[in-house]
Amino acid sequence: MTKFEKFAALHVPGNPVILYNIWDVGSAQAVVAAGAKALATGSHPVADANGWPDGQNVPMDFALANAKRIVDAIELPLTIDFEGAYSADPEEGAANVARLKATGAVGCNFEDQVLGGSGLHPLELQMRRISAIRRAVGNDFYINARTDLFLKTETYDEALVDQVIERGKAFADAGASGFFVPRLGDPKQIERVIGGVPLPLNVIAFPGAPEKKIWAEAGVARISHGPFPHRALMAKLTEMAREAIA
């Protein structure tokens, strides 16, 4: 079984794979030692750890080199938070993801928000972007198509869930492997999304989110931890340094 096949097989509704997001080789090795089954970078911790703001401000060559260093250092499947593939143009973005695949990464997160702008890309354009990536990387690459609808509002009503489902269905038709909805947390809404979208669902374990068991029972297939591990570690480092310096 290839790394890609192993990674895809971990996405089991009701028994979600836990991705405790990393940012470099050292953090990867620490999470491997904890018993991880797969690894995932987060764009925010990679940016924070290296002095850039999040939002595709990490130079692409740095992001690719960082991915290659992690792949070379560990044996587990690695997926990369590649934000918007560094281009709104479908073909250019697809070529960038092909470069990411060449590092040995088995997949990526690919989001629909307009980086450097506002709002989300029109659905038809986002479908073309996903389709172009699929053509460029073939079938052995996990495209975790992300919608940021829940990040653009504080009104988490059923109309918003309808929009999420519409996007998820379209992403599936375009060739996505999985569906990522950051900040989606309510188990009932999760069940609606899972019932309406034929892709494994990925949610993020934000502070105050339901317990993993509740999400598993709702049918979630993947739980990420995003920027929160890095933030907690940096807070602990500050605390330890303060005690040492005092």
**Domain harbouring 13, CATH code:** 3.20.20.60
3-state secondary structure (DSSP) of residue 204? strand
**The two three-digit tokens of residue 204, written as one number:** 């993020």
pLDDT at 153: 94
User: Which residues of the chain, if any, have pLDDT below 50?
Assistant: none
pLDDT at 96: 98
> In whole angstroms, what separates CA 125 from the centre of its chain?
20
Radius of gyration of the chain (CA): 17
**The two three-digit tokens of residue 164, written as one number:** 């999420």
Instruction: Report in angstroms the alpha-carbon separations of 149 from 62, 114, 159, 160, 234.
Output: 28, 12, 11, 7, 29
Number of domains in the chain: 1
| CA–CA distance, 115 with 110 (Å, rounded to integer) | 12
pLDDT at 144: 99
- Residue 40 pairs in a beta bridge with 79
pLDDT at 166: 98
Average pLDDT over the chain, rounded to an integer? 97
**Residue 91 domain boundaries:** 3-245
pLDDT tens-place string over residues 72-101: 999 999 999 999 999 999 999 999 999 999
CA angle 137, 32, 101 (to 5 degrees): 10
This prediction's pTM: 0.97
Q: Do strands 142-146 and 17-19 pair parallel, antiparallel, or not at all (unpaired)?
A: unpaired
3-state secondary structure (DSSP) of residue 225? coil
pLDDT at 176: 98
- The DSSP element (H or E) to which 162 belongs, if any, is helix 158-174
| CA–CA distance, 4 with 22 (Å, rounded to integer) | 19
